[in-house]
Amino acid sequence: MTAAEVWELSIHLENHLLAFSADYGAWVYAIMFLVLFAETGLIVTTALPSDTVLFAVGALAARGADLSLWWTLMLMMLAAFLGDSLNFACGRYLGAHFFASRRIPFISAESLAKAHDYYERHGGATIVASRFVPVLRAFAPLVGGIVRMEWREFLKYNAIGKLLWTPLYLFGGYFFGQIPWVQRNFGVAIFLALGAPLLGVVARMVYLSVVKGR
């Protein structure tokens, strides 16, 4: 999916979801499931708009659209959990068969050791927090698998991340969908919801830069 296609899908997501719901009925949940699963389960599809899908479903449900919040919550939580688990499993496979044998020269043993040490100390928090940052959420499980984070530890924090992230966007969309301004400016509201996590990352980077400069 190209950047232009992602933009078009996101800015007109309201119309797409309503059209899918009208044309395919309950199959719209399968479409949303695949979008969320692929966004992190397949590293090549990180541009898919999972945050915006959840926010849009919540907002549309608030406006009376025939979309079930509870079905969406359960299915999308499962889709995101399975997608991250697949990504993690791929990382463990790569770590065992490629990085360990040093077939990729620009990945040094030292950098892997540093990553392993970081995940030993902050792996759980990284898995949870990365879920709220588009693109990064696809790499955190992959790297965790590469540096051999324990499966049990990963699954625990993977579940915690989905229990926090999924209802936040879904019910956040439902709450904001009742605001008249959001109803009139749906596309803008979608991008505000998508960009909110990135603002926190940028603020953190600026803060560290200023502190380091001092």
> What tens digit of pLDDT does each residue of 87-116 get?
999 888 877 666 555 555 555 666 777 777
Residue of higher predicted confidence among 146 and 43 = 146
Q: What count of other Cβ atoms lies within 10 Å of the Cβ of residue 27?
A: 11
Q: Across residues 15-40, what is the average pLDDT?
A: 77
CA distance 73 to 205: 32
Residue type, 8: E
Q: Across residues 143-154, what is the average pLDDT?
A: 90
Q: Across residues 153-178, what is the average pLDDT?
A: 90
- Band (pLDDT 50/70/90 cuts) for residue 159 is very high
Residue type, 42: L
Residue of higher predicted confidence among 207 and 141 = 141
Which DSSP string do the residues of 99-133 spell out, in sequence order?
Answer: ITTT-STTS-HHHHHHHHHHHHHHHHHHHHHHTTS
Q: What count of other Cβ atoms lies within 10 Å of the Cβ of residue 46?
A: 16
Structure-block tokens of residue 40: 């992190």
Q: Across residues 68-79, what is the average pLDDT?
A: 91
> Residue 165: which domain range?
3-213
- The per-residue pLDDT of the chain, averaged, comes to 75
- Band (pLDDT 50/70/90 cuts) for residue 188 is low
CA distance 73 to 80: 11
**CA-to-CA dists, residue 132 to 4, 5, 137, 180, 186, angstroms:** 23, 22, 7, 26, 21
Q: Across residues 16-34, what is the average pLDDT?
A: 76
In this model, does residue 1 exceed pLDDT 60? no
- Residues contacting 101, CB < 8 A, separation 6+: none
Structure-block tokens of residue 210: 């200023």
In this model, does residue 197 exceed pLDDT 50? yes
- Residues contacting 162, CB < 8 A, separation 6+: 77, 80, 81, 84, 131
In the chain, how many domains are there? Answer: 1
Q: Across residues 63-71, what is the average pLDDT?
A: 80
